[in-house]
Each structure stands twice: as structure tokens, then as C-alpha cells.
């Protein structure tokens, strides 16, 4: 793992496409070993923010720094050694096996001409396959995997990068309950390895189970770009009052007596 202890920080960020901001005035910090969830209604700019922080999209104004360095002043390969990004849609046409796919996660650590990895590369791939419980499927083509297995394989690629931070864009969207629970357990294991995680999530109950910090985005004025409406721990950021303001729904909240986690029940349009 590289650069443990460094922080991803954004200052007065404005993000969007073709110089039209979708979301602005974003300042935040992400720390290793912390899970941050981004929530908000459709079209509020959650994915756009994650793409900008993960160096997929240049900010319109403001800057994103990894440690002291602006991420756009770093070579792409150096950045990829420290930060991994798992997109929402994964290409389905390629015929690679799980192992070949996970091995591509070692690219940031290799020379451009290198095909066969070092012992370090092999060890990192083994660990990623073991952590995602994909060892048995290592020779299976990606196209033959179920939705949950594919998602795990793509996360294994990110883990093989041995990054300090992982960004995931709606990782649970195509998963059934079982696979969702497995994914959340995996993310919690990554957290214990001091990896900083930021993920876009729609389901408030999933957020409540996993997030240390929540950033709630709001598009109150549809003409103006979205803003951060609230941030903090799950209970504070996702209060019934904030949810009503942002999602325009009435939400009942309970505390699960067994786990102590907050349970959300959106029951009517406000």
C-alpha cells in the first residue's frame, strides 16, 4: 500500500460537463480507513463528483489534491498506484478470464512493455482474488460470471492496484440482497486494511450499514448547480428533516435493536 496517511482533498470544486457546472462549492477531505458515502436524488451530480475526484473528469474550477499534489499534475500511472476507480458500467464484451482481468490491476506498478509480472504482482493478484473469494473462478471468462461475481472481480482489479483510496460508483445497483451483503462485508474488510473508500449509493439503509461519513447533495434550485446539503455521520446527515428537504419524502427512522443501525422507511411524498 502506498502513501498511507495521505489525504484526498478538494477545494471549492465545481464539477460538470462541457464547462457547465452540475455541482459546485464542494470542499471535502477523504481519509484512509474511512468510508464516505455520497447520497442525493437523481441528477444531483453524485457520479460526476466521484469521477472528478478519481481523475476521470477535470474540474471546471477548484482543485483536487492527493497529499500536497494536484492530481492533474501527477502522471496517470502514479495516480493509479494510489487511487482506484470502479465505474458504474463495466465493459461486458471482453473475453478475459477473472485472473487476466485482475492482473490488469497491476498495470500502474509495471513498465509499459511488461507482460509478465514480478513476484510482487503475483502476490497482489493472489491476495485480491482471495479477499474477493474469486480463487475458484480465476480461470472463468468474465462474460460467464453472474452480476455479483462480476462486481467482485472488478473490485478485485481495484484491490490489485494496492491503492490507498477506492472510489466506487453505485456498486450495489445490480446486486441482489445476498450479493449486496457480501459486497458490504468486503468493503468493511478493505476499511480494516486502512483503505479510504468513497462510494455513491442510493439505498439509505445500505449507507447506514457501512458509511462513517455521509455527504448529502441537494439540487434545491433547479437552475443553479447542486450543493452539499449536509455532511457528517449517518444519523446527523440523513436526519428525517434533511431527507425531507432533499428527497421531498417523509421518512420514518428506527434503530435496529440487534445491530444499533438506523433503518429508514420512506413512506410518502412530502
Partner 1 sequence: MVRSLGSILSRFLLLTIILVTAIVVNVCVGDVTVPPQEALQAIIGAAPQSSLTEILWQIRLPRICVAVIVGAALATSGYLLQALSRNSLADPYLTGVSSGAGLAVALATVCNLSFSAIPVAAFIGGLGASALVAFMARSPAGFSVGKLLLSGVGLSAICGAFITMILIHASSVAQGQGLFFWLAGGIAGHTWSEVIPSCIYTVLGILVAFAMSKQIRLLSLGPQSAQALGLDVAKTQWILLGAAVLMCGSAVSVSGLVGFVGLIAPHLSRRMFGQDERIQIICAAMMGMTLVLVSDLAARTLGQGQELPLGTLLSLIGGPFFLWLISSKHNKEVLQN
Residues near partner 1 (CB under 8 A): 54-56, 76-81, 84-87, 89-91, 93-97, 100-101, 104-105, 107-108, 112-115, 139, 141, 157, 161
Give the shortest CB-230-to-partner 1 separation in angstroms.
29
Q: How far is CA 12 from CA 9, 24, 184, 197, 237, in A?
A: 10, 7, 31, 21, 20
Give the shortest CB-240-to-partner 1 separation in angstroms.
36
Nearer to partner 1, 87 or 266 (CB): 87
Helices (H), the chain: 46-53, 76-82, 98-104, 119-131, 147-160, 177-192, 204-210, 234-237, 240-247
Give the shortest CB-181-to-partner 1 separation in angstroms.
26
- Any bridge partners for residue 216, and if so which? 39, 230
CB-based contact 173:119 (threshold 8 Å): no
Nearer to partner 1, 142 or 234 (CB): 142
Nearer to partner 1, 147 or 220 (CB): 147
Nearer to partner 1, 37 or 166 (CB): 166
Radius of gyration of the chain from its Cα atoms, rounded to whole angstroms: 19
Give the shortest CB-260-to-partner 1 separation in angstroms.
35
Give the shortest CB-259-to-partner 1 separation in angstroms.
33
CA 124 vs. chain centroid, Å, equals 20
Compute the distance between CA of residue 196 and CA of residue 219 in angstroms, rounded to an integer: 27
DSSP class of residue 109 equals G
Nearer to partner 1, 163 or 262 (CB): 163
Cell digits of residue 87: 465505474
- Core vs surface per residue 22-44: b (16+ CB within 10 A) or e: bbbebebebbbbbbbbbbbbeeb
Nearer to partner 1, 95 or 192 (CB): 95
Give the shortest CB-95-to-partner 1 separation in angstroms.
4
Residue 88, number of CB atoms within 10 A of its CB: 14
Give the shortest CB-221-to-partner 1 separation in angstroms.
26
Nearer to partner 1, 25 or 88 (CB): 88
Amino acid at each position: 500500500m502506498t502513501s498511507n496517511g495521505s489525504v484526498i482533498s478538494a477545494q471549492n470544486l465545481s464539477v460538470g460537463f462541457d464547462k457547465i457546472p452540475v455541482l459546485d462549492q464542494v470542499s471535502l477531505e477523504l481519509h484512509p480507513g474511512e468510508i464516505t458515502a455520497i447520497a442525493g436524488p437523481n441528477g444531483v451530480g453524485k457520479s460526476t463528483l466521484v469521477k472528478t475526484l478519481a481523475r476521470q473528469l477535470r474540474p471546471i474550477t477548484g482543485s483536487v489534491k492527493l497529499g500536497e499534489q494536484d492530481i492533474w499534475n501527477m502522471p496517470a500511472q502514479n495516480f493509479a498506484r494510489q487511487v482506484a476507480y470502479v465505474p458504474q458500467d463495466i465493459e461486458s464484451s471482453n473475453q478475459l478470464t477473472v485472473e487476466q482481468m485482475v492482473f490488469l490491476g497491476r498495470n500502474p506498478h509495471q513498465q509499459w512493455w511488461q507482460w509478465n509480472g514480478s513476484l510482487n504482482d503475483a502476490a497482489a493478484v493472489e491476495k485480491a482474488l482471495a479477499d474477493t473469494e474469486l480463487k475458484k473462478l480465476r480461470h472463468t471468462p468474465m462474460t460467464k460470471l453472474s452480476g455479483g461475481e462480476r462486481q467482485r472481480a472488478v473490485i478485485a482489479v481495484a484491490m490489485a492496484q494496492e491503492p490507498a483510496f477506492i472510489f466506487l460508483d453505485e456498486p450495489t445497483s445490480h446486486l441482489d440482497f445476498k450479493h449486496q451483503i457480501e459486497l458490504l462485508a468486503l468493503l468493511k474488510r478493505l476499511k480494516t486494511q486502512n483503505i479510504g473508500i468513497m462510494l455513491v449509493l442510493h439505498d439509505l439503509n445500505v449507507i447506514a450499514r457501512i458509511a462513517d461519513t455521509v455527504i448529502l447533495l441537494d439540487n434545491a434550485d433547479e437552475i443553479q448547480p447542486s450543493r452539499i446539503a449536509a455532511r457528517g455521520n449517518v444519523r446527523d446527515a440523513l436526519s428525517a428533516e434533511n431527507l425531507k428537504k432533499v428527497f421531498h419524502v417523509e421518512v420514518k427512522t428506527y434503530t435496529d435493536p440487534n445491530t444499533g443501525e438506523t433503518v429508514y422507511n420512506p413512506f410518502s411524498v412530502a
